[in-house]
Structure 1
Amino acid sequence: MNTKAFASQADLVEKQVSFTRLSENAYAYTAEGDPNTGVIVGDDAVMVLDTQATPVMAQDVIRRIREVTDKPIKYVVLSHYHAVRVLGASAYQPEHIIASRDTHDLIVERGEQDKASEIGRFPRLFRNVESVPAGLTWPTITFTGRMSIWLGRLEVQLIQLGRGHTKGDTVAWLPEQKILFSGDLVEFDATPYAGDAYFQDWPKTLDNIAALQPNALVPGRGAALTTPEQVQAGLQGTRDFISDVWTNVKAGVDAGKTLNAVYKDTYAALKPKYGHWVIFDHCMPFDVTRCYDEATQHADPRIWTAERDRQMWETLEG
């Protein structure tokens, strides 16, 4: 008898939305551990970072943007390829959708499968999924490494600081104000999803974020971090979680244990420290499975399909 509902299908509680002003240019749309959206208001245009999961959900972001500015929303930036981050893009009617070349390549390789997988896992995060246009969300501009977008005199740097949550992760950095939008490279009081991660690279990427010395940071999930001390706590919490998963899984692999045994051991080891974080039970099977892959024979993440999701869940939680 399977006691745990598959993934987050039983998660039906609506979250309270906050729209936090970090500076005269930077805002954070957050919802108690649901996926965040960043907003940058420049001299002549608005940039949105991560779109929400459907166009209907994106309308709430647009409503809040319109409470602070009437400037056109010209740019949408995708911090990475996951459906929950990109499928709301059409609502903003942007002139350009920007992503790293690595993110573009992941959309080509696995966008369709990932979309079906994510919608099946997390129905509440895809409210009004019928409002998503047919097909995938495609960038109109891609870059490698780093690029700057100028919103009038305001510079927004889009930077790949290393692999972590995915191989295509992009952060947005306001160098003059030292404000960073991290996407899912950093979470705060929310469990990192690592089903498409690079466990051995992620801590170094977090070090690269820390080296920028942000005064404020908008994580992928969780409240906006508005002081250097809070930023440090967010980075440390994410780093500790990723390191703890890797350490426990690697020990199990080295001892010749099966995925099932490694999962049970790792879950038990991490539950006391992280069990109160949002979506802990949802993420752990995916995180441990990917980590086990990386520690054994799969340097790169395997593609998740709706069927693979179900098989994995049955194996670990059935």
Structure 2
Amino acid sequence: MSFEFQKVTNQVYAYIGPLTNRTPENLGLNNNIGLVITTKGAVLIDSGAGIPSAKTLEAAVKKITDKPIVGVINTGSQDHRWLGNGYFKDKGAKIYALNHTVETQQDMGAGLVEKMTKVSDIFANTQPVVSSKPFEGNQATFTIGETQFELKYFGDAHFPGDAVLWLPKQKVLFSGDLIYVDRMLGVHPFSNVASWQQAFHKAESIPAKYIIAGHGQVADWDLARKDTGDYLDKLVKVMALASEEMMGVDDVVADNADWPEFKHLKHYDSWHKKILSRTFLQFEEAM
């Protein structure tokens, strides 16, 4: 398959990964990755699922610019967001992340490498490497070259510690896994759907012209609401009421198996019921 960055706006590019699951062919790059060209050098937004995907991203960057990769900014803790950090750090890049994100990376790193090794043994030599000086608090503003970046944490979402990256001058939001378009959200047992919904609505205050979601095409707020915000809103509303009424999980899933407004999303048929079940159990446990 082809690994290419597409232009979003001036000096900002995005690799749009396939909507499929991880495979040896896609090197775990079934997510979106950002690229910003600064006066100092190239900056990657997330670094891939390990050394093989990091090398592939590096080659794709070289098709856009001759500048070195001087920075990697992590928006999250899922494997394909950061397990390429070590490769770029060894080449001199600085790793940027919020401490919220780094704490989860440290907790999950070894398990994520093991998971990627099951996708392909080419990931076996990957070592989890986190930012050595993560930013404390919920927000950090910094510059690389003459480009201003703002990392923001609005609440736990797909993974604990998920963050977004805002480029105020370019009006570009790299949402990480706070926003998905074109495909279903990934809800794990450790995801926090109630917090995710709140975080999404907090992020809506950002006046983004371009949204590079965690997965799917480059979007705007209308599409982000349609594919992520509306689904989160319905999940929270339905599951909060069902847990208050002490319904059983099987009945809740059966009653809500058909949400036609979301059937256009990739993986709806295989993931929707699982998401319903996991979300209900979260609300039931919180009662």
What TM-score do the two structures reach when normalised by structure 1? 0.76
Task: Pick from 291, 297, 318 the counterpart of residue 279 of structure 2.
Answer: 291
1:248-267 alignment to 2 at 5 Å? 248-266=238-256
Does the Cα contact within 8 Å between 2:6 and 2:14 map onto a contact in 1?
yes
Amino acid aligned to 2:167: L
**CA distance, structure 2, for counterparts of residue 248 and residue 132 of structure 1:** 42
Structure showing greater relative contact order (alpha-carbon pairs closer than 8 Å, 6 or more residues apart): 1
Task: Pick from 184, 191, 197 the counterpart of residue 197 of structure 1.
Answer: 191
- 1:50 is matched with which residue? 46
Structure 2 unpaired stretches of 5+: 20-29
Task: Pick from 115, 130, 137 the counterpart of residue 122 of structure 2.
Answer: 130
- The CA deviation string for residues 258-286 of structure 1, in whole angstroms up to 9 with x for no partner, is 333333433x133x222331233454355
**More displaced stretch, 144-153 vs 276-285:** 276-285
Does the Cα contact within 8 Å between 2:5 and 2:13 map onto a contact in 1?
yes
Q: How many residues align?
A: 273
User: Matched residue of 2:47: which SS?
Assistant: coil
After TM superposition, give the deviation of residue 35 of structure 1 in Å: 0.6
- The CA deviation string for residues 4-52 of structure 1, in whole angstroms up to 9 with x for no partner, is xxxxxxxxxx6x6552212222111002333110111100122111222
Does the Cα contact within 8 Å between 1:27 and 1:38 map onto a contact in 2?
yes
Task: Pick from 4, 26, 34 the counterpart of residue 12 of structure 2.
Answer: 26
After TM superposition, give the deviation of residue 56 of structure 1 in Å: 1.6
> Structure 1 residues 200, 259: closer, same or farther in 2, change over 3 A?
same
**More displaced stretch, 247-256 vs 155-164:** 247-256
**CA distance, structure 2, for counterparts of residue 280 and residue 208 of structure 1:** 26
- 1:98 is matched with which residue? 96
- 1:146 is matched with which residue? 139
> Structure 1 residues 259, 139: closer, same or farther in 2, change over 3 A?
farther
Does the Cα contact within 8 Å between 2:77 and 2:102 map onto a contact in 1?
yes
Amino acid aligned to 1:288: L
> Structure 1 residues 253, 298: closer, same or farther in 2, change over 3 A?
closer
- 1:242 is matched with which residue? 232
Task: Pick from 247, 263, 267 the counterpart of residue 279 of structure 1.
Answer: 267
**CA distance, structure 1, for counterparts of residue 267 and residue 129 of structure 2:** 25
Give yes or no for the alignment of 1:59 onto 2:49.
Answer: no
What TM-score do the two structures reach when normalised by structure 2? 0.83
Does the Cα contact within 8 Å between 1:253 and 1:262 map onto a contact in 2?
no
Identity %: 20
1:166-181 alignment to 2 at 5 Å? 166-181=159-174
Structure 1 unpaired stretches of 5+: 1-13, 300-318
User: Matched residue of 2:234: which SS?
Assistant: helix
> Structure 1 residues 280, 213: closer, same or farther in 2, change over 3 A?
same
